[in-house]
Amino acid sequence: MSPPLRVLVAKPGLDGHDRGAKVVARGLRDAGMEVVYTGLHRSPDEIAEAALQEDVQVVGLSILSGAHNVLVPRVVAALRARGLEDVLVIAGGIIPEADALALKAAGVAAVFPPASRIDDIVAFLVANAPSR
């Protein structure tokens, strides 16, 4: 039996709405994953450093503030600067489809809009997260 996936769920920037992030974090935990939730108002560097310290395979970013085009690529860059090229990055929240395409080009593996099913997120992570 392989060890459970380790996932960091983070809220970058000034977005103060964390209900969705908490629902996803709990759903991933209930699916058998180890989940670390960073809390609100984290900078890209804080998120990347937490990913490094917690040795996660996945970083999930929840963002509803509209700053996704700035903050999400900064998180990806901060992860890469720490040598975490293999960490799978996903995002969720209010992200228009055109912006989701740009985020994917910037290194985000998937974007999950509001009302995404936890089972779909779990299946994506199981299929795509790097093994350790």
- pLDDT tens-place string over residues 51-72: 999 999 999 999 988 999 999 9
CATH architecture designation of domain 6-128: 3-Layer(aba) Sandwich (3.40)
Q: Is the pLDDT of residue 1 over 80?
A: no
- Report the predicted TM-score, pTM, of the whole model to 2 decimal places: 0.97
Tell me how far apart the alpha carbons of residues 73 and 112 are, in angstroms, rounded to a whole number: 16
The helix or strand, by DSSP H or E, that contains position 25, with its residue range, turns out to be: helix 19-30
Query: Which residue type is seen at 87?
Result: V
Average pLDDT of the residues of the chain: 96
Question: Structural domain boundaries of the chain?
Answer: 6-128
Residues forming beta bridges with residue 34, ordered by sequence position: 6
CA distance 130 to 109: 12
pLDDT at residue 6 in the model: 98
Answer yes or no: are the C-beta atoms of 92 and 60 closer than 8 Å. yes
- pLDDT for res 48: 98
- Could you report the per-residue pLDDT of 15-33, keeping only the tens digit for each? 888 999 999 999 999 999 9
